[in-house]
Amino acid sequence: MEFITGCCLSKDFQDKMGCFRICMVSDFFYPNMGGVESHIYQLSSCLIERGHKVIIVTHHYKERKGVRFLANGLKVYYLPFPPFYNQCVLPTIFPTFPLLRNIFLRERIQIVHGHSAFSTLGHEAMFHARTMGLRTVFTDHSLFGFADASSILTNKVLSFSLADCTHCICVSHTCKENTVLRADMQPSLVSVIPNAVDPTVFLPDPTKRCLDTITIVVISRLVYRKGMDLLAGLIPGIAAKYPQVQFIIGGDGPKRILLEEVREQHQLLDRVHMLGSLEHSKIRDVLVQGDIMLNTSLTEAFCIAIVEAACCGLQVVSTKVGGIPEVMPPGLIYLAQPSIEGLTEQLEKAIEDRIDGRQPDPFELHNKIKSLYSWRDVARRTEAVYETVQETPLPDISTRLQRFRQCGLVSGRLFMLTAILNLIWLLVLQYIWPAQSVELAEEFTASKKKQSEGSKICSSPSTEILGQISKNTS
C-alpha cells in the first residue's frame, strides 16, 4: 500500500493537524434543488467556517461545466459527464478514474465524502479514492426495502461500495438500522448525524397568512414515494368538509397529472394551487403563507422539509414512516398512519386546533427548532467523524480484496476482479501521468478567511456564483 498511498499524497502536502482537505462527491448538487443538495452545501459551508478545505465534485448541468467558486469560497467541479437517469451519471467505473485522480491530486485531498445511495458518481469516487489509499466517508440519506428488484440491485451495489468504506453516516437511527442491514456493515462503523436547518433563512412571518383561510402547504417531489396518491385521495374530502381550507402544492413530478385531474374533477381550481418546481430560495416565501405543513411520504430517512416548515412556524402533519418520528418531539407534530384515513384524521385535528386557536405560536415553534437543529453542530459532529477516520489504519490490498469477496459467492468475485483491474489502471495512470507532474491547485483566498460566528451561514448559491475561473471542459 505504500506505493498506492504515495501516488496520491506526500507528507509535505498534509495540512496542519486538525484541518482536513475534504472532497464532497455526489450527482446531486446545485443548480438542482433538494434535500441532499442543501445538506452538502450547508455542511461544506460550515466546515469551511471551521477552517477546513472543502471542494465539491458533481456532473455538469447543461451549460454549467468546469470549475466554479461559490460566494463563500466553496469550489465546485462540474465534470463533463452527462446525467444518464434520474440526475445520475451512467455507471462506468474506469473512465471516471483519470479525471477524479487528477482532482484528488491537485487539491491534495485527504478524505472523500460521498453522498446518497442513488449517486453513481459518489460511489465511483469513493472506490477510486480507496484505490489511491485515501480515506472515505459515506452519508446515506434514504431508506430502501429488501424485496423488490430495484432494492435488491441497489443494496448489492451499496454492499460493494461500503465494503471498503472507512466510515458511514446516517441521518437517523432508523436509517442506520436500514443501512447496516442492507450493506451488512458493522454498527460501530456507522454514526448518526441528523440534518439541520438554517434558522436565519426560515423565519416566521404571520402577516403573510390569510386570516379567514386555513392554508395547507405541500412541498415535495410529486412522485409515488412521496405519497402523492394519498394526497390525491384526501384533498376532496378535506375540501368538502372545510370550505375555508385551501391547498398550496409546490413541486413537480410524474404524479402532477393525477393531482391536476383531482383538482379539475372536483372543481377545486381556486382552492388547490399548483406552483410547479420551486427554487430553494423561494421555499420560505411559500411556507410562511401556510398554517399547516402536510407530508405524505411513504418512506423517509429524515425529511428536512418538515423541519424547515416548523422553523417557519407551521403546524406539521406527517405520515409515521422511517425516521420521521425521530425528527421532532410529539407536541410539535401530528403523526399519521400512511393511509388516506389516517392522514385525514390527523389533518382534521390540526385544522380544528387552528379553528379553535390552539396552534403553537410561530415564533415559539421557530425557537424550539432553532435549539434542536444547527448546521454548525452537524459540522462539529462530522468533524469528529473525520478525526476518527483519519486515525483509522489503512487496510492492505489483500484485506480489501477479502472484504469484496465476502459480498457474495458470484458478485464477491466480480467485485474482487473490479478492484484488481482498478489497481492496474492506477499503475497505468501513474506511469502515463506521474503524481509529481500534476500541478497543484491554487488556494482561493476567500476560503482562508473565516466567517464570523454571528454571520449568516449561507445564501442560495444559485444567485452567488462568482464566475467560472477555469476554461470550460467540453
Q: What are phi and psi of 414, to 5 degrees?
A: -65, -40
pLDDT number for residue 7 = 42
Strand-pairing partners, residue 23, are 55, 112
CATH fold for the domain made of 206-373: Rossmann fold (3.40.50)
Round to whole Å and give the CA distance between 275 and 159.
39
Within this chain, domains 1-8+17-196+376-440 and 206-373 share the same CATH topology? yes
pLDDT number for residue 12 = 42
DSSP state of 64: B
pLDDT number for residue 421 = 95
Q: Where are the domains of the chain?
A: 1-8+17-196+376-440, 206-373
At CB < 8 A and 24+ separation, what contacts does 405-414 make? 406/163, 407/156, 407/159, 407/160, 407/163, 407/184, 408/156, 408/159, 411/156, 411/160
Neighbours of 443 (CB within 10 A): 12
Torsion of CA 360, 365, 366, 368, to 10 degrees: 160
- Take residue 387 and report the three cell numbers written for it: 478525526
pLDDT number for residue 18 = 61
pLDDT number for residue 102 = 95
Reduced to 3 states, what is the DSSP secondary structure of residue 452?
coil
pLDDT number for residue 148 = 75
pLDDT number for residue 117 = 87
The answer as to CATH 1.10.3720.10 being correct for domain 1-8+17-196+376-440 is no
pLDDT number for residue 154 = 80
Question: What is the Cα Rg of the chain in Å?
Answer: 23
Q: Nearest-CA neighbor of 273 among 254, 286, 283, 284?
A: 286
DSSP-H helix ranges across 136-202: 149-162, 173-183
The residues of the chain scoring below 50 in pLDDT are: 1-17, 445-474
pLDDT number for residue 350 = 94
pLDDT number for residue 444 = 60
At CB < 8 A and 24+ separation, what contacts does 402-410 make? 403/163, 403/164, 404/160, 404/163, 404/164, 406/163, 407/156, 407/159, 407/160, 407/163, 407/184, 408/156, 408/159
pLDDT number for residue 5 = 38
pLDDT number for residue 37 = 87
Start-to-end CA distance of the chain, whole Å, equals: 35
pLDDT number for residue 449 = 44
pTM: 0.81
